[in-house]
Amino acid sequence: MVGLNKAFLIGRVGQDPEMKTSVSKGTPYCKLTLATPNHKKEGETWVDNPDWHRLTVFGPNAERVAKNVKKGDSLAVECSIRQGKWTDKDGQQRHETSLLVDRVLWTVPRAQRSTEFGSGRPPGQPEVFEAPAPEGEQIPF
């Protein structure tokens, strides 16, 4: 069967990235949230009702994201969609849909960001990097 498992999102970062290390292999990863615009009509007026997405970035690129991305930054991401389930400490079965970031594109030019990423690109050019999840790594819920 041929298929495609990708999500493309453009939005604003809702919190500073949180750096962690996986228990199974010690791989660095970071988690962050991204708000994408959505509007709904209430009566005669349209109200902002953003959708929130949980993102996970693995490996060295997680460190780059944690260092360079801040709450409020505008990002475009390409992600793989993963479904996870686990049993919490109270014995309850939990489910979560997670987006594993494959690529990040800063939508604000480097010259306008507060920190340097160091890609060597000319000022004003967006930066792209790939951040694949390590092979065999489980999503650390």
Q: Is residue 94 part of a domain?
A: yes
Tell me if 139 is assigned to some domain. no
The CATH number of the domain holding residue 37 is 2.40.50.140
Determine contact, residues 33/54, Cβ cutoff 8 Å: yes
* 71, pLDDT greater than 60: yes
Whether 138 has a pLDDT exceeding 50, the answer reads no
CB 18 within 8 A of CB 49: no
In a domain, 57, yes or no: yes
Strands 18-21 and 28-36 come out as antiparallel
* pLDDT value of residue 115: 45
Residue 132 has pLDDT above 60, yes or no: no
Mean pLDDT over 56-74 rounds to 89
Report yes or no on 136 lying in a domain.
no
Q: Which residue has the higher pLDDT, 26 or 119?
A: 26
pTM of the predicted structure, to 2 decimals:
0.69
What is the span of the domain harbouring residue 101? 7-130
Please give the tally of structural domains in the chain: 1
